[in-house]
Amino acid sequence: MLKRNQIFRAVFILLGLLYFNASWSQQSKVKNLLTFDDKPYHFGYLLGVNQMLFTIKTDQNTIGAKPALGFTIGVISDLRLGNYFNLRFIPNLQFGERVLTSWNSSTNADDEYRYSSVLLNLPLNLKIKGKRLQNMRPYILVGSSLSVDVGGNAKKDASTNTADFLLYRNDVYVDTGVGMDFYFNWFKMSTELKMSYGLSNMFLSPGTNNPRANDITGLNSKVFQFNITIE
């Protein structure tokens, strides 16, 4: 499995290549896909790297959280609302895990509790675009999404689960992000950084194996993403 620094290095190299290509296109003064943004709707797909973690509310300083890397795949449905606005529905699957830590005084180290998750996300985002500059166009994203953990160990019935921490499956996120469109000869590629902040308290109840879970009063999800879209 790729380490975090290897993934970040690959992302920076990719961004460098895209900006080099865009800079060359700027110098060439050739505009690609001149009518692409005039289409009433179009489709595409999304590939991304995500980082899942928790914001913890606790009465004691014994529980913590660590970020963990995963990946995202999705499909894009884009509706044109005007010259500078698009409505985007991008159902996607996020594969990853959330990691909670608990201080163990006997080992003088943190015990880790890893929760593999497959999040089905249904985001509805407004894409607000800036002015096109040759073959580049910046944008920001705002919106919200519904999320269901379809592959994790969250349970609604605590009596049937002996996990260390029990989590709800469903969540609601507020989404925000920034990105850049790159226009090539035959397609448009976009790179974006997106942040999603969960509004729901995901903490269901403590399990049977970790009494320190009683210190938790709230868990809120956060997901950071670097996405590449092809449209």
pLDDT tens by residue, 9-63: 555 555 555 555 555 544 556 688 888 888 999 999 999 999 988 888 776 666 7
Domain count, the chain: 1
Give the pLDDT band (50/70/90) at residue 158. very low
Backbone angles phi, psi at 108, to 5 degrees: 55, 40
Say if CB 164 and CB 213 are below 8 A apart: yes
Kindly give, in sequence order, each residue whose CB lies less than 8 Å from that of residue 175, ignoring residues fewer than 6 positions away: 123, 125, 141, 142, 143, 144, 145, 194, 195, 196
For the stretch 159-186, pLDDT in tens is 444 445 667 888 999 999 999 999 988 8
Task: Give the structural domain span for 63.
Answer: 4-230
CATH number, position 48: 2.40.160.20
Please tell me the pTM assigned to this model: 0.76
